[in-house]
Amino acid sequence: MGRAYVYVILGGGVSAGYAALEFTRRGVSDGELCIISEEPVAPYERPALSKGFLLPEAPARLPSFHTCVGANDEKLTPKWYKEHGIELVLGTRVKSVDVRRKTLLSSTGETISYKFLIIATGARALKLEEFGVEGSDAENVCYLRDLADANRLATVIQSSSNGNAVVIGGGYIGMECAASLVINKINVTMVFPEAHCMARLFTPKIANLYEEYYRAKGVKFVKGTVLTSFEFDSNRKVTAVNLKDGSHLPADLVVVGIGIRPNTSLFEGQLTIEKGGIKVNSKMQSSDSSVYAIGDVATFPVKLFGEMRRLEHVDSARKSARHAVSVIMEPAKTGEFDYLPFFYSRVFAFSWQFYGDPAGEVVHFGDYEDGKQFGAYWVKKGHLVGSFLEGGTKEEYEIISKATQLKPAVTDLEELEREGLKFAQTV
């Protein structure tokens, strides 16, 4: 015998928190909803871990960043879940799921049954071992996915003041952590295989501007190469990294951000998997009609592009969560999930937003000289499909978001370049 719930959310990250709030708004009853999570804390805003959490002065700490403060909404503390009759099963890993029987088996040996399951298992950080490099279990090699990782990184940062850090990976984790390390007075060298940072999104021109700024802050870049091995002291602490191009970099601290893998393994062979995620329809419903998937683990149809996508960003986690709950609680009133992809980042004094799809031809606009406000549009098959803006106001971001959603026709790229932000304003 085990416990039985009407609704079970598997995973206790960003999307779980936003789903819980939506359940209460749509009238879930006491004892109907359970969240089961491997993490020992209630859902929180994961983006804080690479930003406010790593600050040397007055760093962000829980309970200040529990969901859903990131969307300027209620802060759901453990007390909130109790008051709303939501069972929060923390520090508990789900070992297996039987989709046909509608049951989960926890690491404590308990069986939990559901009528509706929402998969919100997110993703795990890729390990260097998966690329043939051993030693990433050393105490001064840090990954960053959850609170435990962030606590460890903060401790290692404290003991590395004025020391050397090597940051492996030029994506989001690499860029945001490098900025945080500099703010903590640590010398940073970034190592990544591509020709420029943020290669999945930035154009060379955009990347160059950020890289120049990082260089002015003392950051060194070693591009076009990867790590091949670590060197250790007698306590198995890493003292240096060796790169494929032959360079040798002394290191008091290594931060690794080389991408993620969605946590789908519990469902392989039971649900349809596509593009690395659980395939869902525009109702966030998987190939089993009682099972929904949200956040980083879900591959869903992005109507605007007519394609299945899996996104790894917080806005999509929040909105897909709300949508799935709305479908489950009020199916007749809920339409299709019509989502405009939205990514953002904040590093040093920079802050940018991106909407849509970075595909097709690129047109840059704005002032790349003073670097205060600049942007880019992506144009595919004669239509605007993506917009990037650094240093915009709230209103300007709304304008580029609305314009991108409309996919307006673009006939003359030179005119688009001349018009810049004005183009979005007049769509």
The mark string for 355-394 relative to ligand FDA (x by CB under 6 A, - otherwise) is ----------------------------------------
The residue (of 28 and 241) whose beta carbon lies closer to ligand NAD is 241
Is residue 68 reached through a cis peptide bond, with omega within 30 degrees of 0 on the bond before it?
yes
343 belongs to the binding site for ligand FDA (CB under 6 A): yes
The answer to the question of residue 168 lying near ligand FDA (CB under 6 A) is: no
Q: To the nearest whole angstrom, how small is the minimum distance from the Cβ of residue 328 to ligand NAD?
A: 26
| Residues 218, 196 contacting (CB under 8 angstroms) | no
334-338 contacts: CB < 8 A, separation 24 or more? 334/283, 336/282, 336/283, 336/303, 337/282, 337/283, 337/284, 337/300, 337/301, 337/303, 338/282, 338/303, 338/304
Q: Which two tokens stand for residue 83?
A: 């008051």
**Per CB under 6 A, does 71 bind ligand NAD?**
no
- Reading the block at residue 207, the tokens are 């990347």
Nearer to ligand FDA, 52 or 224 (CB): 52
Neighbour count for residue 349 (Cβ, 10 Å) = 10
Query: Residue 330, interface with ligand NAD (CB under 6 A)?
Result: no
Return the residue of 232, 344, 350, 368 that touches ligand FDA, per CB under 6 A: 344
| Per-residue binder mask for ligand NAD (CB under 6 A), 222-261, x = binder | ----xx-----------------------------xxxx-
Length, in residues, of the chain = 427
**What is the enclosing helix (H) or strand (E) of 407?**
none
Compose the 170-209 pattern: x for residues touching ligand NAD by CB under 6 A, - for all others: xxxxx-x---------------xxx----xx---------
Q: Which does 259 bind (CB under 5 to 8 A by kind): ligand NAD, ligand FDA, none?
A: ligand NAD
Euclidean distance between CA atoms 218 and 236, whole angstroms: 28
Pick from 99, 107, 67: which is nearest to 86 by CA? 67
Residues numbered 25 to 64 that lie near ligand NAD (CB under 6 A) are: 50
Pick from 5, 7, 8, 11 the residue near ligand FDA by CB under 6 A: 11
Nearer to ligand NAD, 135 or 193 (CB): 193
User: Judged by CB under 6 A, which of 295, 356, 366, 375 binds ligand FDA?
Assistant: 295
Find out whether 11 and 18 touch, Cβ atoms under 8 Å: no
**Among all residues, whose Cβ is closest to ligand NAD?**
171
Give the span between the Cα atoms of 25 and 19, in whole angstroms.
Answer: 10
Regarding beta strands 273-274 and 141-142, do their DSSP bridges make them parallel or antiparallel, or are they unpaired? unpaired
Angle at 125 between CA 168 and CA 170, to 5 degrees: 30
Instruction: Tell me how far, at minimum, the Cβ of 15 lies from ligand FDA, in Å.
Output: 3
Nearer to ligand FDA, 128 or 314 (CB): 314
For ligand NAD (CB under 6 A), the number of binding residues is 25
What residue type is assigned to position 100 of the chain? R
| Rounded distance between C-alpha atoms, residue 62 and residue 238, angstroms | 30
Residue placing its CB nearer to ligand FDA in the complex, 111 or 239: 111
Is residue 378 within the footprint of ligand NAD (CB under 6 A)? no
DSSP alpha helix (H) spans, 289-393: 314-329
Residue 39 touches ligand FDA, criterion: CB under 6 A = yes
E-state strands within 57-115: 87-89, 94-98, 103-106, 111-113
Q: Which chain residues interact with ligand FDA by CB under 6 A?
A: 11-16, 36-39, 46-47, 49-50, 93-94, 120-123, 144-145, 263, 266, 295-297, 312-315, 317, 343-345
Q: Which chain residues interact with ligand NAD by CB under 6 A?
A: 50, 131, 168-174, 176, 192-194, 199-200, 226-227, 257-260, 312-313, 343, 345
